[in-house]
Amino acid sequence: MSFKIAYEYDENKVFIKDNIVFPAVVYITDDKKEFNDIDAANEHQKELFPLQAVDIEYENDSENLKEGVESETKKETIYMEAVDAPEVQSKEIFNLPENCTWEPAPSPSNDAKWDSKKKKWINGETPEMVPPTPSETELLAQDNADQLMQIAEVEFKLEQTNQDNADILLLIAEVM
């Protein structure tokens, strides 16, 4: 089923929310009359195209014939619905709710307002985006993490220096 989005605004013309609008179905007969009910539309369509009289001829060879007659041709008139009657057409109609527009609203964070004269949304003030500042605890935790990283680097260099010294001592011992 199809739908449309209607954008609602309040008494100050400020955007509130968007709404889903489902269509109402209207049935249109061949003489362009509109009905809300499919059954009423079909009944009216049948009145526009009444039953047609059709003469049919067929051969009767049943047992109910007179003696000595093998078959006889019978003519009958039957009434049937019009073959060329068009179908009832259907059309979807979207009814715009009160205080709504079909025009898409901009971001609601900037208090968009509906201008009835221009038939469009006008943006309000864009809120100033202030980046969050870290708290004292977060700053101290970051300082602590930086100092621990520096200590780890110094310890790694010290360990590397000790290893180099041990390698030099081993070389000296081999030479002597």
Residue-number span of the structural domain to which 91 is assigned? 4-122
In terms of domains, do 68 and 109 share one? yes
Say how far apart CA 108 and CA 70 lie, in whole Å.
89
Cβ-contact 33, 44 below 8 angstroms: yes
Say how far apart CA 48 and CA 84 lie, in whole Å.
12
Say how far apart CA 22 and CA 14 lie, in whole Å.
24
If one counts the domains in the chain, the total is 2
The structure's pTM equals 0.46
162, two tokens: 């000790």
73, two tokens: 């041709």
**What is the per-residue pLDDT across 72-114, written as a single tens digit (0 to 9) for each?**
677 888 887 777 778 888 899 888 888 888 888 776 556 778 8
In terms of domains, do 100 and 153 share one? no
Nearest to 15 by CA among 127, 107, 125: 107
Last residue of a domain, one of 80, 98, 122: 122
Cα end-to-end span (Å), the chain:
97
75, two tokens: 């003519």
In terms of domains, do 105 and 146 share one? no
In terms of domains, do 20 and 41 share one? yes
**What is the per-residue pLDDT across 3-23, written as a single tens digit (0 to 9) for each?**
888 888 887 777 778 888 898
In terms of domains, do 44 and 110 share one? yes
Last residue of a domain, one of 81, 101, 122: 122
Say how far apart CA 98 and CA 108 lie, in whole Å.
19
